[in-house]
Structure 1
């Protein structure tokens, strides 16, 4: 439910105007050329590199770092983009502390990994700043592919298909392409409208058309697309949001965290209303992003409550530490019982949780947090995903249809994983269209 402007305590423009620019500035310091070469020199350039194995897109990390160390950052960027065309965004938002940097030999031996994410950003930013595209299209194949969804999976799929010489049309239900990168990531991680700049740069490959405001099931159907195109890729993400299943969930002041983040991404920061006392329920990256940004918007107190322990929280320890460093309190092992208030939320009652024989159980010990705003960040679902005007649901057991990203089984809510799945689907689509030995 959206916040009513009459909801007590939830108001926009809580801070002096200068504070918004400061609070939402780039969270990660950017390497200059000298700093990048010094950081690159820490790499052992492992032959059997565990960092490369840990990367979902299998970027040749030792190679691109060596290229930075030799002063060829643009060559390093091309090495990255060859595997991950959204390497610029991934350098900003990837949980490197859980992936490549976690298994870095330097991390294992010294507790301080090579700063792979920052080096990747240095390389990709260097090349993208020149405005050129590092790849060219193959000769036209005469094949056309429809890509549904302009998120990371769809964009990666479309780019790889265009490189192969196919014509691609992307259908996107929202007003802008980008998906999670445009609508679902904290603004301080991707300032200066980087998501759209990256999309514009990606489209320089040519052969890709993007149609926005077009929704599968409402404006186009899967059977129609199958008849018009040689193949279809579905990268529609997860549109549904899980419910709390707690009394009072529909009170004013209660909303989905993903909607809150999307509003913040698409609005002037001063216009986004935030409560005095904000409670965020959940344990993933969405919960952390919503909580930290609530604090940056001027909330007095912000608390994340997660039903399991710290080690089970899907947001990394780095992100948890970032949240607490921003003034967010995190309470573990507690679940909501009911939301309090008459018409607007005034608080949330929680019960501490324990691991029982049948799984997680609520204990008899409870506590209450004051809250004039509650943000739900307890996961998303595919939801109703109609593919026809009559409401027929998504059926994937049909010819020449591929899926990738969060809508596919095993979606991990990570840009880098979605990119890998979109890229790999494109390779499979190309092989199917041109013959398996293509």
Structure 2
């Protein structure tokens, strides 16, 4: 059997067009009007709502659900977007099951929370599909701010600054804006071209210019930006992927999971993407789950996710783990890769089981693997950046770095979880502090 798998190798077009369309369809179908009203009716509209505290962007959740319940979804959308301008994407990708919905009174009492995420999507989609932008730009301030990175943090910062009357230029290294929303989210979570449609909608505020393929360190320097602009915001994300430190890591068909997801997100034809029969993903976070599930949806026969600790220590939520299991992904815990075997291309992976202290037990496992994806975290490209705190940028509570007139937010900082919603909150809050400094 192993010989057949090795000879089969990596191929494309394993499934029918119908199977690709079904597998990569919307994970959560949007609520219609009746469903939204029924879901909203379950909310207790708590005065001291724990869901607000659990939301990194402090959205007034009972308020927007009440507005949906009273038939004013556009007003609900404005309540959401005033705190989280990327509320549409966050409604799709935010792990609500571990944030607002986990502390919902209905969840605590009945084990079935109000569908906060889906209601947020209902409201924001209703507004954005009409092309409406609910905010007006203030009078021009005469100040100009550079934002590095058009990801969630950079976009949130740019929008708030533009709304306050400042001119913003975003320097983005890639051909498209959106950051992880465009390149790093599983295709079944954000279907179609929603990420770009949301950016286009956001830019309606005016006063924001995006310069694509303008990378910090390659095309522009931080010193030059500080000289040209009144303030700089860094939302550069994490560009380097951590190494496995396993023998044979340099073999063919051993890839970074983030590159695999990005390639899939930009593919015009899913059937053209080659996938192995025996795919192994190393890691335990959301990226690992996204890569594993999508490998299975592309037609991989056996997909195994390997994590060094127990399932209770995985960064991926229980919902994400269950989703992977429901798609046929095998999860192996308390194991680390020690070697990748094969003549040129990987053919097998050798794992060693470890104890709770991460010490090797001497017990090993070898399994077929014609494709291996690394999803063990990313690190910061550090050249030309302000002072670091460990492996990320050091910032204070307002997002200020060690350099005067330079702020930062998102995954490049060591503040909060590496989530889209957290990045949005940090970009928004940094923008408010930048505004305070610029206007005195």
TM-score bracket for this pair, using the shorter chain length: over 0.9
Report the equivalent of 1:415: 420
How far 1:9 moved relative to its partner? 1.1
Report the equivalent of 1:185: 185
- Give the conservation status (yes or no) of the 8 Å contact 1:43–1:62: yes
How far 1:397 moved relative to its partner? 2.5
2:266 matched to 1:266? yes
2:359 matched to 1:361? yes
More displaced, 327-336 or 136-145? 327-336
- Give the conservation status (yes or no) of the 8 Å contact 1:221–1:387: no
How far 1:18 moved relative to its partner? 2.3
How far 1:10 moved relative to its partner? 1.3
How far 1:369 moved relative to its partner? 1.5
How far 1:386 moved relative to its partner? 4.0
C-alpha distance in 1 between matches for 2:96 and 2:393: 34
- What are the within-5 Å matches in structure 2 for residues 251-400 of structure 1? 251-267=251-267, 268-356=269-357, 360-386=358-384, 396-400=401-405
How far 1:411 moved relative to its partner? 5.3
- What are the within-5 Å matches in structure 2 for residues 214-229 of structure 1? 214-229=214-229
C-alpha distance in 2 between matches for 1:354 and 1:55: 35
How far 1:22 moved relative to its partner? 1.5
How far 1:385 moved relative to its partner? 3.9
Report the equivalent of 2:157: 157
C-alpha distance in 2 between matches for 1:241 and 1:271: 25
2:208 matched to 1:202? no
C-alpha distance in 1 between matches for 2:237 and 2:383: 10
Secondary structure of residue in 1 paired with 2:411: helix
How far 1:17 moved relative to its partner? 2.0
2:27 matched to 1:27? yes
C-alpha distance in 2 between matches for 1:116 and 1:385: 41
- Give the conservation status (yes or no) of the 8 Å contact 2:393–2:413: no
- Give the conservation status (yes or no) of the 8 Å contact 1:170–1:211: yes
How far 1:384 moved relative to its partner? 3.8
How far 1:353 moved relative to its partner? 1.3
* CA displacement 1:187-209 (0-9 Å, x = unmatched): 01001111000000000000000
- Following TM superposition, the consecutive aligned residue runs of length 4 or more in structure 1 with deviations greater than 6 angstroms are none
How far 1:281 moved relative to its partner? 0.5
* CA displacement 1:234-286 (0-9 Å, x = unmatched): 00000010000000101111000000000000112122111000000000000
C-alpha distance in 2 between matches for 1:409 and 1:384: 14
- Give the conservation status (yes or no) of the 8 Å contact 2:393–2:414: no
Report the equivalent of 2:434: 429
Report the equivalent of 2:75: 75
Secondary structure of residue in 1 paired with 2:319: helix
How far 1:331 moved relative to its partner? 1.1
- Give the conservation status (yes or no) of the 8 Å contact 1:145–1:167: yes
Secondary structure of residue in 1 paired with 2:356: strand
- Give the conservation status (yes or no) of the 8 Å contact 2:222–2:384: no
- Give the conservation status (yes or no) of the 8 Å contact 2:145–2:229: yes
Secondary structure of residue in 1 paired with 2:364: strand
Structure 2: state its 5+ residue gaps: 1-5, 387-391, 395-400
The TM-score normalised by the length of structure 1 is 0.94
Secondary structure of residue in 2 paired with 1:119: helix
More displaced, 212-221 or 12-21? 12-21
- Give the conservation status (yes or no) of the 8 Å contact 1:8–1:372: no
Distance 1:7 1:58, change over 3 A: farther
- Give the conservation status (yes or no) of the 8 Å contact 1:7–1:252: no
* CA displacement 1:60-85 (0-9 Å, x = unmatched): 00000000111111100000000000
More displaced, 188-197 or 11-20? 11-20
C-alpha distance in 2 between matches for 1:367 and 1:139: 65
- Give the conservation status (yes or no) of the 8 Å contact 2:52–2:58: yes
- Count of matched residue pairs: 423
How far 1:409 moved relative to its partner? 1.9
- Give the conservation status (yes or no) of the 8 Å contact 1:161–1:427: yes
Report the equivalent of 2:175: 175
How far 1:166 moved relative to its partner? 0.2
Secondary structure of residue in 2 paired with 1:295: helix
The TM-score normalised by the length of structure 2 is 0.94
**In angstroms, what is the RMSD of aligned CA positions?**
1.6
